[in-house]
Amino acid sequence: MALKLNDAREPYREFYGRNVEQMPKLVADKRVPLNVAGLMQRRLAVKSADADVQTAWMDNYFDTGDAIAYHPDGKVKLVLDSQHLRNLTPESTLNNSALVLPAGVYETLQGPEFTRAKLEKYVGNWLKSDQAKTNPIWQALARDQTLLDAYVDHIFTEYQRRFAPKTDLKDITAMGAFIVDKDNLPKDVTMRALCVSRLVSRSYVLGGYALDYGSGRLVGLAPEAQVAKNYTVPETRIVAPTLDQVLALSNAHVSRNGKPEFDKDVRTLYKQ
- In Å, how far from its chain's centre is CA 164? 22
Which bin fits 233, alpha (ψ -120 to 50), beta or left (φ > 0)?
beta
pLDDT for 171 equals: 96
The whole-number pLDDT of residue 258 equals: 73
Mean pLDDT by 10 residues, the chain (272 residues): 67 96 97 96 93 95 96 93 97 94 94 90 94 96 96 97 95 94 76 96 91 96 68 44 60 70 70 52
- pLDDT value of residue 271: 58
pLDDT of residue 233: 46
Burial 185-199 (b: 16+ CB within 10 A, else e): ebebbbbbbbbbbeb
Residue 176 confidence (pLDDT)? 96
pLDDT of residue 245: 58
Q: What is the pTM of this model?
A: 0.81
